[in-house]
Amino acid sequence: MDSIGALITAIFLGLVLARLEPIFGMPPKVLYGLSFIACMFALYSFYCHLQLTKNWRPYLIGIISANLIYCCLTTGLVICYYQKLTNLGLMYFLFEIMVILILVCIELKTVSELTYRKD
């Protein structure tokens, strides 16, 4: 789930929003950077999904941490470029942060259940 979401984010940021700067307001250079980060997250998450059959709890914690850092970075960029963002751009980034935070909550619940079952 996480890798698919990161891939969708990467494609949307790098291929759609970057070409529509006047509509969203975020500079393409920033969007390409965020897209690259999302691609790395997608690859890491997909690799973990394929390779880890046991003891994947620490890797899920890593994914959770990366998602939270990405949200902080995105929030900082929204603040930094707030004057340039259109209402649609602001809505997009707030929606993206909200979706990622919901995913983090699901992942935290999964980690919590794994910890509970382990004890």
Domain assignment of residue 36, given as a range:
2-118
Asked whether residue 15 carries a pLDDT value surpassing 90, the answer given is yes
Q: How much of the chain, in percent, has pLDDT values that exceed 90?
A: 73
Helix (H, G, I), strand (E, B) or coil at 58: helix
- Looking at every residue in the chain, the average pLDDT score rounds to 91
98/49: higher pLDDT: 98
For residue 12, the model assigns a pLDDT of 93
Residue whose structure tokens are 């950077």? 33
pLDDT in tens, 31-84: 999 999 999 999 998 988 888 777 778 888 999 999 999 999 999 999 999 999
Mean pLDDT within 91-103: 96
Per-residue burial over 32-64, b = 16 or more CB atoms within 10 Å of its CB, e = otherwise: eebbebbbebbebbeebeeeeeeebeebbeebb
Residue whose structure tokens are 């529509």? 20
The overall pTM is greater than 0.85: yes
Asked whether residue 92 carries a pLDDT value surpassing 90, the answer given is yes
How many beta carbons lie within 10 A of that of residue 27, not counting itself?
14
How far the first Cα of the chain sits from its last, in Å, is 26
Q: How many domains does the chain have?
A: 1
Q: Report the alpha-carbon distance of residue 46 to residue 66 in Å, rounded.
A: 14
What length is written for the chain? 119
Asked whether residue 115 carries a pLDDT value surpassing 80, the answer given is no
